[in-house]
């Protein structure tokens, strides 16, 4: 166990001293592989059984694959989610399951497996398949209720189920009753706080054992995403004290994670885009060269190759963004890579030529709470032009889902 002198701590709202860097000692996987729907743990008993994780890597299509999960675990992440899997395709296509659902349990655990679905039977079948494929070692099955993208609307899943309280309840309730592992959910908020709390009540009463709240509305996406609302997350935290709550949104550096945890009182902090840009975000505030992190990522990929080499390219562009963003030659060189073996020479070139690296310094996200006039939270953003294209036509389309099944039939 690391000494407390070496591990960042903070005092939570209950005046408890919380150790934030215990990843090496944390439980690595769901410790009850013989659990059944009637004997599985829930709520805080479940949360404690998986090591009371504080720092969480969020689910991202084609971005939270095994190699990247293992990378973030090296730098303080306690819990990770798989990419969001398309429920119907997961149940129907064995090739999709085998290529996309990569895991290394128990070493990488605890691991939550996330699905999008709008059919309770399919959602349950997804959970059972993942449970068996992992030899009963996944920690939980998570329902995606937060994806805001065009294809989610077309397929009727993610945040486009928000208004369908009965369906959301049935999805979670059936899985809670029939799966041998806990069910969790990740949601977005409504503009109206009272409606948000009714939605939260629906999700929790149905059986969600951990709730992750992305503090943005469905309309806050892409170029219009704006700021997440920590105050609403705090209200939700206080509204459902019976289960663990994770906060997601505005987490760009380690101090943001600490500030968010202290302000909202949540049990854990989830980051997605922040970790894409800095996989060492939860590293206690210690800067790690993006070139060194890229090299480590390639080392991991050699043993745990992603489903496709393009996963690697996208990660490297994200990690190295501030390092090569102003060098068109380097960016073009990385863009031309078309085989895994060619990424290593690119990184070696950056090292050999001493390409300078700098640490990005962010304005503290707590300022969004402190200075509301300066940082307004626009939950119903108006369309605005981005490079001559109105952002509400979503021509940019986020990586969510479209990259895996745009050409396939919807749910």
Catalytic center residues: 147
Report the alpha-carbon distance of residue 311 to residue 116 in Å, rounded. 21
Cβ–Cβ < 8 Å for 188, 160: no
Report the alpha-carbon distance of residue 397 to residue 167 in Å, rounded. 26
Pairing of strands 79-86, 111-116: parallel
Ramachandran area for residue 368 (φ above 0: left; ψ -120 to 50: alpha; else beta): alpha
Residue 143 DSSP SS3: strand
Chain CA centroid to CA 311, Å: 16
- Please state at what angle helix 328-336 crosses helix 343-352, rounded to 10 degrees: 160
Residue 411 DSSP SS3: coil
Report the alpha-carbon distance of residue 411 to residue 396 in Å, rounded. 22
Instruction: Kindly give the residue spans of alpha helices, DSSP state H, lying in 50-159.
Output: 66-73, 87-92, 94-100, 120-133, 150-155
Rounded to 5°, the CA angle 27-29-35 comes to 115
Pairing of strands 140-145, 183-188: parallel
Count of beta carbons in the 10 Å neighbourhood of residue 402: 17
3-state secondary structure 17-39: EEECCCHHHCCCCCCCCCCCCCC
What token pair was written down for 352?
Answer: 């050999």
Name the β-bridge partners of 84: 114
Cβ–Cβ < 8 Å for 157, 144: yes
Residue 185 DSSP SS3: strand
Report the alpha-carbon distance of residue 208 to residue 191 in Å, rounded. 22
| Cα atoms in the 13 Å half-sphere on the side-chain side of 296 | 19
What token pair was written down for 283?
Answer: 């590293």
Nearest alpha-carbon partner for 76 in 99, 51, 59, 94: 51
In total, the chain counts a number of residues equal to 411
């Amino acid at each position: 166990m690391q000494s407390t002198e070496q591990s960042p701590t903070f005092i939570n709202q209950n005046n408890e001293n919380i150790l934030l860097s215990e990843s090496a000692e944390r439980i690595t996987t769901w410790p009850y592989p013989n659990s059944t729907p009637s004997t599985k743990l829930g709520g805080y008993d479940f949360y404690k059984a998986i090591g009371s994780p504080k720092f969480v890597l969020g689910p991202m299509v084609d971005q939270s694959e095994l190699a990247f999960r293992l990378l973030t675990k090296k730098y303080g992440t306690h819990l990770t989610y798989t990419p969001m899997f398309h429920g119907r395709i997961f149940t129907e296509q064995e090739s999709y399951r085998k290529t996309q659902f990569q895991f290394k349990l128990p070493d990488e655990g605890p691991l939550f497996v996330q699905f999008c679905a709008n059919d309770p039977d399919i959602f349950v079948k997804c959970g059972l398949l993942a449970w068996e494929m992992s030899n009963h070692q996944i920690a939980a099955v998570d329902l995606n209720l937060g994806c805001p993208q065009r294809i989610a609307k077309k397929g009727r899943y993610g945040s486009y189920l928000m208004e369908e309280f009965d369906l959301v309840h049935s999805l979670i309730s059936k899985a809670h009753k029939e799966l041998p592992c806990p069910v969790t959910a990740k949601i977005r908020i409504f503009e109206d706080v009272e409606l948000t709390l009714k939605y939260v009540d629906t999700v929790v009463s149905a059986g969600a054992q951990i709730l992750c709240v992305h503090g943005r509305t469905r309309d806050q996406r892409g170029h219009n995403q704006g700021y997440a609302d920590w105050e609403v997350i705090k209200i939700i935290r206080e509204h459902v004290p019976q289960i663990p709550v994770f906060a997601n949104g505005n987490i760009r550096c380690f101090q943001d994670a600490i500030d968010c945890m202290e302000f909202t009182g949540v049990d854990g902090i989830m980051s997605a885009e922040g970790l894409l840009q800095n996989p060492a975000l939860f590293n206690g505030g210690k800067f790690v060269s993006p070139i060194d992190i890229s090299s480590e990522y390639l080392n991991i990929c050699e043993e745990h190759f992603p489903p496709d080499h393009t996963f690697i390219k996208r990660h490297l562009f994200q990690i190295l963004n501030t390092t090569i963003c102003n060098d068109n030659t380097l960016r073009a060189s990385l863009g031309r890579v078309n085989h895994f073996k060619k990424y290593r020479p690119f990184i070696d070139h950056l090292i050999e030529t001493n390409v300078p690296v700098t640490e990005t310094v962010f304005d503290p996200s707590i300022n969004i709470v402190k200075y509301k006039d300066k940082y307004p939270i626009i939950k119903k953003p108006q369309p605005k032009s981005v490079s001559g294209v109105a952002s509400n036509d979503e021509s940019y389309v986020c990586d969510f889902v479209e990259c895996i099944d745009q050409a396939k039939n919807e749910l």
